[in-house]
Amino acid sequence: MSTLINSLRQNIAIVVGLCVCAIWGETFVSTKILLENGLMPGDIFFYRFALAYVCIWFFSYKRLWADNWQDEFLLLILGIMGGSLYFLTENMALMFSTASNVAILVGSTPLITAVLLALFYKDERMCTRQMVGSLLAFGGMALVILNGQLMLHLNPKGDILALGASLTWACYSLIIKKLSRHYNALFITRKIFIYGIITILPYLWTESPLQTDPTILSKPTVWVNLLYLGVVASMLCFFAWNWTLKQLGTVRATNIIYLQSFFTMFFSYLILDERITLMAICGTATLILGMYLAGKSAT
């Protein structure tokens, strides 16, 4: 009976993980809309995390601190790795490199995560079939992102920053594995939001002052997309993702991230009328095959 319940829980976690990746894939479209309406990347990050923190407080308000200062420090690191630093490295990378380069390098997160886990956790090491599946999924994701573009141009400064963003999220996954053994997903997620907000403040103070113009913030397009990013894509999705990581294990869960590029392509086509090429379709098929091989061998 326990085996059946565990299998059901894992299947639910896979569905939840897919839903999270679909929503995160769409966030690029919402972010683009907000940028076109006058908000800067720093504004979008601050408002979405602030909204997420306010909303999650109603569900997780009894416990304020971790059991000890070491765990509290790790929660601070999570807020940096999964929030402020990830945002800064990814968006600064876009200033110096192409969107395709950044998307592909940031999309290498599952591979980097697998390497780090192999170094620190013996129970999360990938077998040969998992590694082959993960590499296939990465190749498929790259084809989806390229979407007909045959050339990539190296931009060392931007590309290194993009790899830095990938590394920060991989470290986030690593620390979550440790903390989820002792704390529930709601508590961890709430702490990530508050520490993400606190650690982005120096950037907002020195580099990009927060946009507070009511004529911009009161636009229906702006506040609807901010609510979506804050409540759905941040509060609900971070909580759901942290729960998924605990249920599936870090390698299996992180491999689902490869599908985010497909969902971004799909929503860009649906909402922004961007094209889908044969290369992207072949990439999607390769991506799904790779994920199937990686997931099948992990069960």
Q: Is residue 236 part of a domain?
A: yes
Rounded mean pLDDT of the chain? Answer: 84
User: Is a pLDDT exceeding 80 seen at residue 158?
Assistant: no
Q: Give pLDDT tens digits for 125-157.
A: 667 777 788 788 888 887 777 766 655 566 778
* Cβ contacts of 85 within 8 Å, gap of 6 or more: 168, 199
Min mean pLDDT across 70-84, 139-153, 183-197 is at 139-153
Percent of the chain exceeding pLDDT 90 equals: 32
pLDDT at 147: 64
Q: Is residue 215 part of a domain?
A: yes
User: Is a pLDDT exceeding 60 seen at residue 299?
Assistant: no
pLDDT at 61: 77
Question: Domain tally for the chain?
Answer: 1
Domain span including residue 20:
16-298
Q: Is residue 11 part of a domain?
A: no
User: Is a pLDDT exceeding 90 seen at residue 197?
Assistant: yes
* Mean pLDDT confidence for 37-51: 91
Q: Is residue 8 part of a domain?
A: no
* Mean pLDDT confidence for 273-288: 80
Q: Quote the pTM value.
A: 0.83
Q: Is residue 5 part of a domain?
A: no
Q: Is residue 4 part of a domain?
A: no
Q: Is residue 2 part of a domain?
A: no
User: Is a pLDDT exceeding 50 seen at residue 230?
Assistant: yes
Q: Is residue 161 part of a domain?
A: yes
